[in-house]
Every structure is written in C-alpha cells, then in structure tokens.
Structure 1
C-alpha cells in the first residue's frame, strides 16, 4: 500500500510540474505575440507612414478586446476543459499574429491586434485555474512566480532574437515566424497536457482548506456562469483593491511591452538593433524580481508569518521600486538610464505575484470569473497607457510619460495598503448565496 501511495505521489509531482512547464512556455509565446509589435514599431511606422499617435492606437488595440473579453474568457475557463480550450486559443491568436505580416494598412493592423486580444483573453485566467487545481495553497505563489517569469525571461532573450529576425527578414517575416511558433506549440500542448486526477485535486483542495479556513463553511455549490456571480465579483472592497492594483501594475508593464524599444531607439538614439539588446537587460531584472517574490513569499508563509506580510510585502516593495522610473528623466548616459529602468522593471516583477490574491480571496467556485475581472481591469491599463504615452511623447519627449508611470506605481501601492485588507477568502452573505 505504501509503495502504491509513493508511486501516486511521484506521478502527481511529475504531473503538476509538467503542467507548470507547459504554462511557462505558453506564457513566453503569449508575450512574444503581444510584444513583437514593439520591436517592429519603427519599421512599421516608416513603411506605413504612421505617426506616434497612430502607433499608440496600434499598441492599445490589443487591449481593447483583451480587456472586454476577460470576463467572458473567465467564464469560458470555468466551463471548458483546459486540454481543449488552451490549444484552441493558442492556434487562433497565432494565426492572427501571422496575418499581421501580410497587411498594409492601419485599419488592418488594428484589426489583427484586436483579434489577438480576443483569443489571448482566457489565457491568464486559465493559467491561474490550472495552478489552483494542481498546486496546494502554500505552493501557489511559487508556481505563479515561475510561470509569470516566462513573460520576462522569454522576452529578455527574445528581444535580441526578434530584433535579429527583423534585421534579416523584415517586420513582416517577424510576425510570420512568431505565428508559426505558436501553432506548433498548440499541437504540443494538446498531446502533453492532462487534467489533474480527482485524487490529486481533492488533496490540494484539502490542504488549502486546512491552511486557510479550516473552520469555515463548505464551498457553495453554484455555477460560476451567472449574473449574480458577476455582481459579487464587483461588489467587494478586497477585490477592488487587487483590481486597481493590477491596473497600476499593468501600467508599468505595458510601457516596457510597447513603447520601451521606441524610447531607446528614438529618444535615447540607440537604433533598432542596439535597442533590442539593451532592452533585454530590464527584462532579466524583472525575471529575477518575479522569481524572488514568489519563493520568498511562500517561504515566509511556511515560516509562520502572516498572509498580510508574506503576500503583500513583495508587492509593496515592488511598487516602491517601480517609482524609480522617474530617475531616467534626470540622467543622460545609457548605463544610468538602463540602471533606473532595470530597477523599475525589477520592482514590477517583484509585484507580479498579484495573481496569488485571486486564488486566496475569490470564492472557490468563482476563481476563473474573478481572474477574468482582475485581468479585465488590469487590461484597461493596456488600453489607456499606450495611447496616453503616444500623446505625451508626440513631440519626441518621453519625460512626462515616465512621470505618469511613477504616479501609477504610487496609486497601486496605496490600493494594496488601504483597500485589500486581511488576506482571507471572501465569505458570501446569505443573500448572495440565495440569489
């Protein structure tokens, strides 16, 4: 019997770390298809004769549909098996990426970016649901940190790689190669991913229950796809605290994912190829930040520190460090600019375990929906910030844009300090349960 139990435990470990590896690579591809537009921006604007304001529209178009589709995407995640849903959306957004390399107008480019936003929308709620099902609560911050780090480590190495592809094949070839990579990975995902066994999921749920609310009521059994649940998702202060925090966190992130290479190439005069290599340094810093935050946060939980301290500390420190972006306005050397922006992005990475709050605070039957709402509000920063930077930098001066990003970091810090409060699952009122 002991031998059988040991074998089952070994299989469960392989299963959950295999699932985490699949998510990690998917996140790398996800962000490659979001951000290859930033590498190609200068070439596209010259080829299609676009202004900075028009490029701001292209940068933000992804987020128009990405944000709107977060809540439906979260509902879809709660309703469809991950083995079917994930490769389907992968193929769809990869095809839209590929088509970008074939269009020649502002409207068509915007349409492709909107299509990518539609099909990437369920991806992060899906990531969070997979981790929630495969990992016990005391392991989740580390697991979330690992897959979130994919967006940074992937781009740290991909930025130079994408810049080289563009150098040899042009911006159209860049999009075509990116799309083909995603289509191949979708097939690999389908053949490798498996849902956790009922025994594994039950054990993880039991561990979470014992560690977070051993004396609480049983989980309410009701469908996540309902208007009442949508109302609940927008009626609790704790949830608004993490929603606003995610918007502010996303404001810094979206600068690096969109305008950052242009800032280096045009405002700092580095050129497209050189900016691709310099841009990789802050992404490496962010990768270190996100991994450090996850493992430190889980280690503090295991040592008995409160959830308020263990989970919030990386975010509070990270938001504070993100305000250092303002320092880039007062230095001239490439080394110092890179230092301040790397420190900023390190802080952004440190604060990027915010997804752990979704699984810790949301009612268990609403993890996908709350994740969708969380990412919806966060995604609004990707709608507004690129446009705002486009207007603020229309005369070639990025300094006002960096001031705005600093202010967003401060607002996010206040949201986590004063709105989120105690880290515990939301208990539904009798009226909420009855509806």
Structure 2
C-alpha cells in the first residue's frame, strides 16, 4: 500500500468527525425543539448559525495555515470545536445553543483550508482527484454514522448524551494527529522512493520538478476571476449539501411519517451511497484527466457533470415511491458533494504554489459557506410558509444548474498574478 494513503485516511476521519458534530443537531432537533419550544424558523437559524463565524474565519484561518502549517491549525481547530460540541450538552435554551454552535463553527473553519493544504503537500498532481474525494467522503460518511449512531443515542439516552459522544471522537482524532502526522520531508515512516515521488510531482500544477513556484499572496488571489467563479460554483454546491445536512431528517419525519430512529436510518442511506460513489467519481476523474491540460482547468468538466447529477433533486417533488425518492436523493447528494471535492482539486490544479493553497481554498470556502448558511434559513421559511419541502428542492436544483454553466464558462484560466477580472473581461470582449 502507498503509505501516503494513511494521510488521506487521516483527512477522511477529520471530515467524518467534523460532520458527525454538524449533523448532531439535526438528528436531535425533534427533542430539542419540543424541550425548548422552538419553531421551524428557530431551528433554521440554529442549523445555520455554526456557519456564521465559520464563514467569517475561513480566510484568516487560511492565511494562518499558510503561515504556521497544517499540523498546528488542524490540531487547534478540532480541539476547539470538540470542546464547543461538548458544551452543547449543557445548554438551556435557544441563546446558549446558538452560542455553542457559533464556537463550533469557529473551530471547524480550520479543517478545509488545512486539509486542502495537506493534499497539496502530500498528493501527486495525478492523484489529486482521488485524494480530495477521500478527504471529502468523510463529509458523507460522517452524517451517515451520525444519523445511525447518534439517532440511537438520542432515542436511548437523550439528546445531551449525543453531543458528548460526538465530542469525544474529536479528542481521539486530535491525539492520533499529534502523534503521527508529519510533512513528507520529515515522515520517518515514509519510504525514500515514495518521498521522492511526492516531492517531485506535487508542484507546478502537475508538472514534475521540486522547485517551488513563488507565492501569489492574498491580494493577487482576490483579483482572480477564476477564484471568484470557483467560489460561486462552490457556493451553489454547498447550498445543496446543507439542505441535505440540516433538513433531510426533518423532511423524512414530516413528509414520510418516519420516527426519529427510522428517519436516521433512511438519512444514512443517501450519505453512505454518496460516499462510495464520490470516491469512485474521484478515481474516474483522475483517469479521465490523464494526458489532459490539468493546468488549464480541464477538471471543470468533471465539476459541471457532478452539478448536473445534483440537479436530479428537481425530480423529487414528483416522486411518490419511497425507493425512487431515496434514489434521487442519493444521486443528487452524490453530485453536489462530488462537485465540492472536484472544486477543491480544481483550485490546487490551477495554483502554481502550495504556499497559496490554504488561503485559496479558504476563499472559495467563504463563497461556499456564504450560500451554505442561507440554505437552512431559507428552507425554514419555505417550510413555514408552504408547509412543504418541495419548493426548497426546486430552489436547490436551479442553483446547481446555474453553477454548472458558470464552471464551464468562467474557470478556463490558471490562477496567476496577472489573471484579473478586468483582464479576462477585456480578453473575452476582444
């Protein structure tokens, strides 16, 4: 086995823990709502709230990752958010729940910038798709594990116990990370041949060579049309993922008449299916891109195809059979989450230097989570006004179709110090 895959496994488990913690509130929402007399709108704000500080902190965390390294920031982040998750068990109402969710979001803002930087450091360019897909697959298996495991804990021991269980997994990961993670230059458990392969094939957007290109910096990245286009696409895909993450258990309970335990099981099915299919898509995308111009953004075709798959959510309102609903939800969830993973790979494809990776991924994640924090709130209002989830599915489908068009048209140039919005507009109008 290639030993660098242990690093990919570390990142996979990081997102598993991350999303177990995120889905805990969704699984426990019925009990919490009854105990504290919370309306769907109140729950919508709680579902969204951890993204408020998360989105604000992403770029600062990305800059810190690029300055202090991924090991420190990942360690700080998971320790902080696990503590916030544990404190949720001791809350007494809407305000204290809101406070712990905000703190959890602050801690979780480290994971994607630091994880993306780890992939840029450890993954050969030809392997970036599968590495990022494994990393992001944790965001699918995490809710599946959380739905089943925490669903049982909530039913058996109550919602407070679920948050303590979720928090404990984060502290276990933290201990393992501090003991075993190293940079490829320093990892003693890595063979010399594999170390040389990693160091010679990770730089210069996929070309071989160990010379690290010059860092662009935040100002140059902020001027890049490509970064803005990827951020918009990321936003539409993340909007869809948060619709699933925050409202799918409630949808199954309200419109399909399921109990908490049964809805937890049926919530896990799309996530488990999407985790498997997402890794398969990542592997196939690497094969598809062999021999193609990765530096020129060829991966955008993969992103667009995934977004078209996610648009299958538009068919859910017309589906009556439960098996068909679950199939459509699984394929749609696969599409939006695979688009997120492919977008993360696309950024690293187009970046000359790994020294910009944490910042660039933080920037597109701001776009993603700007949309993501709207999804739970908007859906809460839709449910309150229409007493149905169908309009929420239609809104999501339209967004991902728009994103598919944007990624095909607007991500055609590498990210450089001279690639700016105005330059591209002039080029396109010439």
Give me the TM-score of the superposition, normalised by structure 2: 0.89
Deviation at 1:201, TM superposition (A): 7.0
The residue that corresponds to 2:214 in the other structure is 220
Pair 1:257-2:245 in alignment: yes
Distance 1:290 1:369 in 2: 25
Distance 2:266 2:208 in 1: 50
Alignment equivalent of 2:373, drawn from 383, 390, 394:
383
Distance 1:88 1:210 in 2: 30
Indicate conservation of the 8 Å contact 2:225/2:419, yes or no.
no
Distance 1:251 1:107 in 2: 25
Cα 1:336/1:301, change in 2 over 3 Å: closer
Pair 1:207-2:198 in alignment: no
Distance 1:61 1:210 in 2: 38
Distance 1:122 1:334 in 2: 38
* Pairing 1:296-375 to 2, within 5 Å after superposition: 296-302=284-290, 304-307=291-294, 311-351=299-339, 352-364=341-353, 365-375=355-365
The residue that corresponds to 1:417 in the other structure is 408
Question: 3-state SS of the aligned residue for 2:158?
Answer: helix
* Pairing 1:175-186 to 2, within 5 Å after superposition: 175-186=163-174
Indicate conservation of the 8 Å contact 2:24/2:146, yes or no.
no
Pair 1:150-2:138 in alignment: yes
Deviation at 1:163, TM superposition (A): 0.6
Pair 1:293-2:287 in alignment: no
Deviation at 1:18, TM superposition (A): 2.1
Distance 1:207 1:184 in 2: 32
Question: 3-state SS of the aligned residue for 1:69?
Answer: helix
Q: Over aligned residues, Cα RMSD in angstroms?
A: 2.3
Distance 1:92 1:372 in 2: 19
Distance 1:22 1:311 in 2: 25
Deviation at 1:53, TM superposition (A): 0.6
Indicate conservation of the 8 Å contact 2:316/2:325, yes or no.
yes
Greater CA drift, 351-360 or 248-257? 351-360
The residue that corresponds to 1:246 in the other structure is 234
* Pairing 1:60-75 to 2, within 5 Å after superposition: 60-75=48-63
Pair 1:268-2:261 in alignment: no
Alignment equivalent of 2:87, drawn from 99, 116, 121:
99
Indicate conservation of the 8 Å contact 1:66/1:117, yes or no.
yes
Pair 1:427-2:413 in alignment: no
Distance 2:84 2:204 in 1: 44
Indicate conservation of the 8 Å contact 1:45/1:55, yes or no.
yes
Deviation at 1:176, TM superposition (A): 1.1
Alignment equivalent of 1:406, drawn from 386, 389, 397:
397
Indicate conservation of the 8 Å contact 1:359/1:367, yes or no.
yes
Distance 1:348 1:248 in 2: 9
Indicate conservation of the 8 Å contact 1:76/1:122, yes or no.
no
Question: 3-state SS of the aligned residue for 1:305?
Answer: coil
Cα 1:132/1:327, change in 2 over 3 Å: same
The residue that corresponds to 1:161 in the other structure is 149
Indicate conservation of the 8 Å contact 2:126/2:206, yes or no.
no
Greater CA drift, 132-141 or 83-92? 83-92
Indicate conservation of the 8 Å contact 1:286/1:348, yes or no.
no
Indicate conservation of the 8 Å contact 1:97/1:116, yes or no.
yes
Distance 2:378 2:370 in 1: 12
Distance 2:351 2:293 in 1: 18
Question: 3-state SS of the aligned residue for 2:314?
Answer: helix
Q: How many residues align?
A: 409
Indicate conservation of the 8 Å contact 2:310/2:397, yes or no.
yes
Deviation at 1:184, TM superposition (A): 2.1
Over 3 Å off, 4+ runs: 198-206, 208-215, 305-310
Question: 3-state SS of the aligned residue for 1:258?
Answer: helix
Distance 1:281 1:430 in 2: 43
Please, which runs of 5 or more residues in structure 1 have no aligned partner? 1-9, 223-228
Pair 1:38-2:26 in alignment: yes
Please, which runs of 5 or more residues in structure 2 have no aligned partner? 187-191, 421-430
Question: 3-state SS of the aligned residue for 1:394?
Answer: helix
Q: Deviations over 1:131-158 (max 9, x none)?
A: 1111111111111111111111232233
Cα 1:97/1:34, change in 2 over 3 Å: same
Cα 1:19/1:408, change in 2 over 3 Å: same
Q: Deviations over 1:96-134 (max 9, x none)?
A: 001111101111111111101101101111111111111
The residue that corresponds to 2:272 in the other structure is 284
